[in-house]
Structures are given as C-alpha cells and as structure tokens.
Amino acid sequence: MSESFIRFVDIHKSFGDKQVLRGVDLDIGRGETVVVLGGSGSGKSVLLRHTIGLHRPDQGQVWVDDEEITELSEEELVEPRKKVGMLFQAGALFDSMTVLDNVAFALREHTDWPEEQVRERVAEVLGLVELEDVEELMPADLSGGMRKRVAMARAIALAPRGILYDEPTTGLDPITATTINKLIRSLQERLGVTSIVVTHDIHSAFTVGDRLAFLDEGTIVYKGTIEEAKQATDPKLRRFLRGGGYG
C-alpha cells in the first residue's frame, strides 16, 4: 500500500482548443487535506473532477487507493466512486427529492439496509453537519449554507475514505463560510478522511488545509505546507495571497 491515497500523474486536459491542464503532478497522502488554490479558470475544478472519473485526462494517469482509474468504464468506476464522496459547488442536491431521499440516495443504491437503518444513518450524518429535523424539507426550502451542509451529509453517507470539496465556501456569507470551514475540519478529525479542497478563498485554504498546491494556467507552480506557503517567495503565489489580503 503506497502512502498516497490519490495521485495525479502528468494530467493534461483540453476542451476544444482550450488547454486547461498542462501536466499536473500531485500526490495526496492518506488522511491529509490538500488545498488546491487558484484563480477562476485555472483548471482546479477540472482537476478535482478527474479524481472520480467525471472527466478523463487526454494524457496522464489518475490513481485512487493504489488503483489506476484513468481508463475505467462507468461500471468499473462504481467501486472507486463509493470510496470518494464529492461536494459540488452549488450542492447539486436532487431538487425533486426531499433531504431524506437525497442523503439516503447512495445508501439505498449501494446497500441492502432496511429502511429503518437507512433513516438512522441519515439522521447520524445530518447530525455530523449540525442539522436536525430537516429530513422532510425540499432543497428549495433550504438556505445556501444548509444546502451545502445537506450536500456534505450526502457525500459522507456511505462513509467514504476521501472527500472532494469544489469551492465549498463560494457564494456564502462570512459566518456561514466559517461554519463550513469548521465542519470540513471536524469531519477530517472525526472521520480521518483524505480530502482535496479546491478553492480561491485564501482564508478557507489556510483554515482547512494541511498542504497547499497553487494551480496557475494549468500547472502546479507551488506545493508546500500551509506554514511554508505563508512564507513562500514564488511571485505568482505571493501576488495571489496579497490580492486576498495575506502578505
């Protein structure tokens, strides 16, 4: 068993004429949280989506838990996808379903649990994201922050060993954003999961990350721990951090 839970090797990806990723190498160790920081259009969400085969690289390899998933079919991706949950930018809750049905979705799909056990697990994961008695509400009835938390609960329902966060604090007010950051931290501590957090929110990056990778124009121009990043001299990262009021 290697030390990396997720590994990107020389990932290239283009959409039409636009080259988004130009050779990304990144290792995410078991149990650690790596923040991928970068401006809008830097390709960080595209990189994240490669982790569970939502995008396929034009060149390069993606490894999850010592298994190469680059060429796997949608059917073969079922197992890797059960190991890694994903929180989408706007939550991506199924808006025709209640909170209960959203959170229970993967449990009903991939386990033979009786309904009672499913409901218990739903209440448990909703508790982990500090929500209760919301099972019967529809996504349209929830605030932006609540929707993100329900989406987090849905992502962790199957007890995945990795969680991917796509811009978890974007579009939230500062107080709700802080709550979400704390939740990400507490999920790491309580569940011991490996996480990748893609964000352009520097405060969030410094709060939740163990290590930081800075993506610029499709390549990683800086990698280091959060403390190292704060002192880094790389001009592009410095300019980004200064723009966010750091350094």
Secondary structure string (H, E, C) spanning the chain = CCCEEEEEEEEEEEECCEEEEEEEEEEEECCCEEEEECCCCCCHHHHHHHCCCCCCCCEEEEEECCEECCCCCCCCCHHHHHHEEEECCCCCCCCCCCHHHHHHHHHHHHCCCCHHHHHHHHHHHHHHCCCCCCCCCCHHHCCHHHHHHHHHHHHHCCCCCEEEEECCCCCCCHHHHHHHHHHHHHHHHHHCCEEEEEECCHHHHHHHCCEEEEEECCEEEEEEEHHHHHHCCCHHHHHHHHHCCCC
Q: Judged by CB under 8 A, does residue 246 bind other proteins? A: no
Q: Beta strands 84-87 and 211-216: pairing type?
A: unpaired
Give the interface segment with other proteins, choosing from 21-29, 46-54, 177-185, 204-212 (CB under 8 A). 46-54
By CB under 8 A, the residues from 78 to 117 that bind other proteins are 78-79, 81-82, 85-86, 88-90, 92-95, 105-106, 109-110
Q: Tell me whether residue 151 or residue 183 sits nearer to other proteins (CB atom).
A: 151
- The residues in 48-67 that bind other proteins, with binding defined as CB under 8 A, are 49, 52-54
Shortest distance, CB of residue 88 to other proteins, whole angstroms?
Answer: 5
Q: How far is the CB of 115 from other proteins (least distance, A)?
A: 13
Question: H-helix or E-strand containing 198?
Answer: strand 194-199
User: 14 or 89, CB closer to other proteins?
Assistant: 89
CB of 104 to other proteins, least distance (A): 11
Indicate the residue among 95 and 124 with the shorter CB distance to other proteins: 95
Closest contact distance (angstroms) between CB of 247 and other proteins is 33
Task: Give the count of residues interacting with other proteins (CB under 8 A).
Answer: 25
Among 19, 22, 25, 77, binds other proteins (CB under 8 A): 77
Closest CB to other proteins among residues 45, 207: 45
The Cα 188–Cα 190 span in angstroms is 6
62-70, 76-84, 181-189, 210-218 -> range binding other proteins (CB under 8 A): 76-84
CB of 158 to other proteins, least distance (A): 8
Q: Which residues of the chain form contacts with other proteins (CB under 8 A)?
A: 49, 52-54, 74-75, 77-79, 81-82, 85-86, 88-90, 92-95, 105-106, 109-110, 154
